[in-house]
Structure 1
Amino acid sequence: MLPGKIAFLLIVATALSFFGALIVAARYRAAMQALMKAPLDAPSTTTSGTAKPLPYSADTPAIPVSLADNRQAQTRLILGFLGLTLLMALTRTLLMQIVSDGPITIKTVSTLCAAYAWPVVPVIAVLRRWPRWRFVGVLLLWFVAAVMLLSWRTNENVSFAQVLFWLSLDIGLPLIVVSALCLGSATRAVAPWLAPLFILFCWASQAGVDLLAALVDAQSPLAYWLAGHIGAITAIALFALTPWLFAWWPARALGRWLADAYAARRISELFYLFTAVWVIALVGPALGAIASEGWGALLYFLPLAWVPLAGWLLRQGAAQRPAGRPPTLLVLRVFQQDANVQNLFDGVIERWRLSGNTVLIAGTDLIDRTIDAEDIFTFLDGRLAERFIRRPEEVGHRLGAFEWQPDVEGRYRVNECYCHDTTWQQALAELLRVSDVVLMDLRNFVAANRGCLYELQTLAALPALQRVVVLVNERTEVEAARAATAAAPAGRFVWLRQANATPPAAEEVLAALLD
């Protein structure tokens, strides 16, 4: 019964992670809205301590990066994960064939390896920010292709129905679990980080139910007393949920460890997701081998050993990058235009992260895109208020906490300033001090947006800013925006107009930023 128990616990943990991610994202958004409007006399909550020094001098010129460099970085990253996936899929295939005494031929190994390489899809989906329909569609097509690819194995002893059933358990069920965790922006950003915690909680519930079963088998008077006074269903619920009170402390410690590891760049978002997907993919065959292999079923997780090795190789490759300061992009936008800025983030900012740092003033419009492990567990610890800048003198400390170094795969992180309504102007001034180029989304801008006018005037007056790329559409009051930038040096502002409802192509915007 052990494989069935483990499978059931993982399914329940996945469901809890999915709904938990939706709840956490919604509550995080509500908490941010409340903190941004907190009374001015609220005490300062910024934590004391020494800010991290910049890894380079602030006045060091940025490394020149072209659009071709950005394309090459994306291609290298995708090919790197694809190569790692194929290596892990090959290891899994050889392990299964050796353990089952199956044939090790080029045809067998190549077809199984191709079928088992599907975990690269979620990574590409995150890098390219695929919409839901494309992500699910590619996974379904991969499953169908795997079935067709392996249909050659049918013979008088193995029917097509048997191959389909085997692949449904071996590939289909993990695909469903991964789709549930990665289907939406909120679940994709939050659910994988919550999954280990809910696995721990589900294990605690199973231990409680097993204890009750042991009491019943031993004909314990306590079990009969509980059944007589509170009923059998209530007794089962009591033994299933009470252990959560004890599991809360190790779960909280685990969450803090994940947050600290992410903050220290020992874990990156992309490698964490990649590893989580592979763990899900390998659980099925490991559970199937428990009955015959016992603890030997853990050998099915051997492909995961390639992940830290790949991380080490990437770190060695990072030493070959050109020395110097990567360019920094400041993102400004008209607030409460969620769909526009989210599409902009998906198409442009995710690509820019391959070339340099991104800074912005936090808002509720980009929570699903920018929330990370540190944000999640800081919020769950009740310490989100510590992120907010309540006094102008706190701005420097907050910028000193930014992470300017890339993750192991080479992507730079998005750094945010959490501002009160009275401190965003000071935060803007500090962000501009460390920025090389600015991307400003003025679609649907009107002259009544006084904050945007202030930003335009500030951008026009800065002496050292390289370029400001401004997105406008037919609803933008362009005359008011251009009037605010009249004092700017010639060529500083690049205006990109959106035609109809179709946003500018990501490469068009990146070309203007990286020119």
Structure 2
Amino acid sequence: MLPGKIATLLVIATILSVIGALLVAWRYRLAMQALMKAPLTTTPAASEIPAARLPYAADAAPVPVTLADNRQAERRLILAFLGITLVMALSRTLLMQLLANGPITLITVSTLCAAYAWPVVPVVAVIRRWSRWRFVGVLLLWFVAAVALLSWRTNENVSFAQVFGWMLFDIGLPLIVVTALCLGSATRAVAPWLAPLFIALCWASQAGVDLLAALVEAQSPIAFWLARQIGAVTAIALFALAPWLIAWWPARALGRWLGQAYAARRISELFYLFTAVWIIALTGPALGAIASEGWGALLYFLPLLWIPLGGHFMARRRRPAGRPPTLLVLRVFRQDANVQDIFDRVIERWRLTGNTVLIAGTDLAERTIDADDIFTFLDGRLAERFIHRPADVPRRLGAFEWQPDAEGRYRVNECYCHDTTWQQALAELLKVSDVVLMDLRNFVAANQGCLYELQTLAATAGRLRVVVLVNERTERAAAQAATAQAPAGRFVWLAQQGSTPPATDAVLAPLLAADAT
């Protein structure tokens, strides 16, 4: 009974997490829109923004980073997670074979290890921002390949149906759960952080239903009186949902802790996702072993110990001395598909070797929302993130995180601005930026905000490079007129065709050029 209950709870919690993620993302965008247009009053009393703290050595030149360095950083990151995955898959295989008294041969171990290494796929999908269909396709291919490989390597006493059933429970169920959590942009960004909360709430519901079952079995007059008063179905629903009134408080505390741990860089997005996927992957064999092993089934989770060890070694990896370059991202608002594509193709790669700053908008909400944002929003404190007056700008920059996470990726830092404070935020962001990427595809002269940004970029003192994306719908004459007073060579204009996705390296190459104007 217990394995079935846990599997059911996991599936229900996954469904609730996906629904909750979609609702949170939707409400988060609406809240941002309302706050950006809200009239200015005073800074919320609960807002405690740290004092101004600019990037370390911000007055010094950034460490030169080339396109080759950026590519190498991506390869190193993927190989590092692949290495941890293979070690964990090997540990899982050996542990399962030992506990089950199974054969430990080179062929058996290598075959099972290959099948169990699938948790690296979601991490690679996030690093390289795969589309949902590519992600689902790769996971399905992995499952099919695992079934085919194991069917080929097992003896004639084991049928294909047995192998398929075994893999369906051992890999298939975890794959379905992970696919649901990571399928869309909103679910990928929000659902994994909500999953522990819903697991706690679902566990509370199960405890309530178990209590009702125990009362019925004990012929308790309370259970039968309640059934007569409100009906059996309502009584079951009451015992399932009433425990949420108690479980909500520890679940809420858990969410706050996750947000605070992320803000303090004790948790990173990639390692959190990697750990969550592996917990889901190991839950299947652990459930299968509960009947025979009891509490010994917890041994199946021992491979998780490799994750903090791997994170420690990745964090100690040698990094170049000095500060990394900082990229400021500007764009034409209300061009969501364009800027989201730029984020997936360019900014995600840039994060491997440098910081990113931008003015927050609903167009990138599902790409930039993190654990701290999620639980700050759920606590009703999103307004505290907004810049209410010019004096708030340097203090907001003081709250930025400039150090990389354990795996080496730098975070995206945002300024949440009202319609009347974004100009001041732009001026301060330029002080800490080394290069600017401006997406002017579909720009028209009526976009006064973009014209102001172009004029500001042209007039900014010091060394600054601006890479501008344009297409055939860009009113380029108006844009170039706004930059007429810029120093020679400051603006690099890259032409794209319509809505065709820009080539990642073609955009990164001028951003990562060694010389700046």
Q: How many angstroms does 1:47 deviate by?
A: 1.7
Distance 1:469 1:433 in 2: 17
Shift of 1:308: 0.4
Mapped to 2, the partners of 1:46 and 1:512 lie a distance apart of 43
Q: What is residue 193 of structure 2 aligned with on the other side?
A: 193
Q: Deviation string for 1:207-258 (max 9, x for gaps)?
A: 1111111111111111111100100000000010011010111011101110
Question: C-alpha separation between the residues in 2 aligned to 1:234 and 1:32?
Answer: 38
Letter in 2 for 1:11: V
Which amino acid is 1:101 matched to?
N
1:481-492 equivalent positions in 2, closer than 5 A: 481-492=479-490
- Aligned match of 1:473 in 449, 471, 474? 471
| 1:45–1:360 distance in 2 versus 1, CA, 3 Å | farther
Show the counterpart of 2:95: 95
CA contact (8 A) 1:46 1:388 kept: no
The SS at the match of 2:316 is helix
Residue 133 to residue 300, structure 1, CA distance change in 2 (3 Å): same
Query: Partner amino acid for 1:13?
Result: A
Alignment-mate amino acid for residue 451 of structure 2: L
2:338–2:499 contact (8 Å) kept in structure 1: no
Give distance in 1, aligned partners of 2:47 and 2:433.
Answer: 25
Match of 2:266 in 1: 266
- Give the corresponding residue for 2:148: 148
- More displaced stretch, 299-308 vs 495-504: 495-504
- How far apart are residue 466 of structure 1 and its match? 2.2
> Which amino acid in 2 is paired with 1:8?
T
On the 8 A contact 1:55/1:405 being kept in 2, the answer is no
2:120 matches 1:108: no
Aligned-pair CA distance for 1:54: 4.1
Amino acid at match of 2:173: L
Deviations, residues 144-178 of structure 1 (Å, cap 9, x unaligned) = 11111111244442111111111111111111110
Q: CA deviation at 1:50?
A: 3.4
Q: Output the CA distance in 2 between the equivalents of 1:34 and 1:55.
A: 31
Q: 1:241 maps to what in 2?
A: 241
1:57-104 deviation line (CA, Å, top 9, x unaligned):
220110000000000000000000001100000000000111111111
Q: Pick from 373, 392, 395: which aligns with 1:394?
A: 392
**Distance in 2, Cα, partners of 1:91 & 1:424:** 52
Corresponding residue for 2:507?
Answer: 509
The aligned counterpart of 1:315 is 315
Tell me the amino acid that sits aligned with residue 238 of structure 1. L
Q: Which whole-Å deviations, capped at 9, do the CAs of 1:482-507 have from their partners, x for residues lacking one?
A: 00000001110000011243232011
Residues 49 and 332 of structure 1: CA distance in aligned 2, closer, same or farther (over 3 Å): closer
RMSD: 1.1
| Alpha-carbon distance in 2 for matches of 1:46, 1:340 | 36
Q: Is the 8 A contact 1:389 1:423 kept in 2?
A: yes
Deviations 1:266-315 (A, max 9, x none): 00000000000000000000000000000000000011000000111112
**Matched-pair contact (CA < 8 Å) for 1:497–1:504:** no
Corresponding residue number in structure 1 for 2:491: 493
CA distance in 2, matches of 1:434, 1:45: 28
Q: What residue in structure 2 maps to residue 461 of structure 1?
A: 459
Does the 8 Å CA contact 1:185/1:368 hold for their aligned counterparts? yes
- Following superposition of structure 1 onto structure 2, how do residues 366-405 of structure 1 map, counting pairs within 5 Å? 366-405=364-403
CA contact (8 A) 1:440 1:468 kept: yes
Q: What is the percent sequence identity of the aligned residues?
A: 79
1:46–1:394 Cα contact (<8 Å) kept: no
Instruction: Please list, as runs of the form range in 1=range in 2, the aligned pairs for 1:166-181 lying within 5 A after superposition.
Output: 166-181=166-181
- Which residue matches 1:292? 292
Match of 1:119 in 2: 119
**Using the alignment, how far apart are the partners of 1:352 and 1:102 within structure 2?**
46
Map 1:22-171 onto structure 2 (within 5 A): 22-41=22-41, 43-44=43-44, 47-48=47-48, 50-51=50-51, 53-54=53-54, 56-171=56-171
- Tell which deviates more after alignment, 36-45 or 106-115: 36-45
Q: 1:350 aligns with which of 337, 342, 348?
A: 348
1:423 corresponding residue in structure 2: 421
For 2:306, the equivalent position in structure 1 comes to 306
**Aligned counterparts of 2:385 and 2:55: Cα–Cα separation in 1:** 22
How many equivalent residue pairs? 513
* Farther off after superposition, 174-183 or 32-41: 32-41
Residues 350/91 of structure 1: CA separation in 2 closer, same or farther (3 Å cut): same
Deviations 1:115-154 (CA, angstroms, capped at 9, x unpaired) = 0000000000000000011000000111111111111244
2:205 match = 205
Instruction: Give 5+ residue unaligned stretches, structure 2.
Output: none
**Within 1, Cα distance between the matches of 2:26 and 2:386?**
18
Partner of 1:406: 404
Letter in 2 for 1:255: G
Counterpart-to-counterpart distance in 1, 2:499 and 2:22: 29
CA contact (8 A) 2:52 2:394 kept: no
The alignment partner of 1:438 has SS state of: strand
Change over 3 Å in CA distance of 1:154–1:321 after alignment to 2: closer
Residues 442, 473 of structure 2: 8 Å contact kept: yes
Q: What whole-Å deviation, never above 9, does each CA across 1:295-340 have from its counterpart, x for those lacking one?
A: 00000001100000011111221xx212111100000000000000
The code of the aligned residue for 2:311 comes to G
Normalising by structure 1, we get a TM-score of 0.98
Of 154-163 and 301-310, the range deviating more from structure 2: 154-163
1:392 alignment partner, SS class: coil
SS in structure 1 opposite 2:391? helix
Deviation at 1:51, TM superposition (A): 3.0
Aligned to 1:471, the other structure's residue is in SS state strand
The one-letter code of the counterpart of 2:408 is G
Q: CA deviation at 1:439?
A: 0.1
Q: Match for residue 328 of structure 1? A: 326
Paired with 1:503 and 1:195, the residues of 2 have a C-alpha distance of 33
Equivalent position to 1:338, from 336, 339, 343: 336
Report the residue type matching 1:126 in the other structure: V
Residues 151, 371 of structure 1: CA spacing in aligned structure 2 closer, same or farther, 3 A cutoff? same
- CA 227–384 in structure 1, closer or farther in 2 if over 3 Å, else same: same
Where 1:57 maps in the other structure, the secondary structure is coil
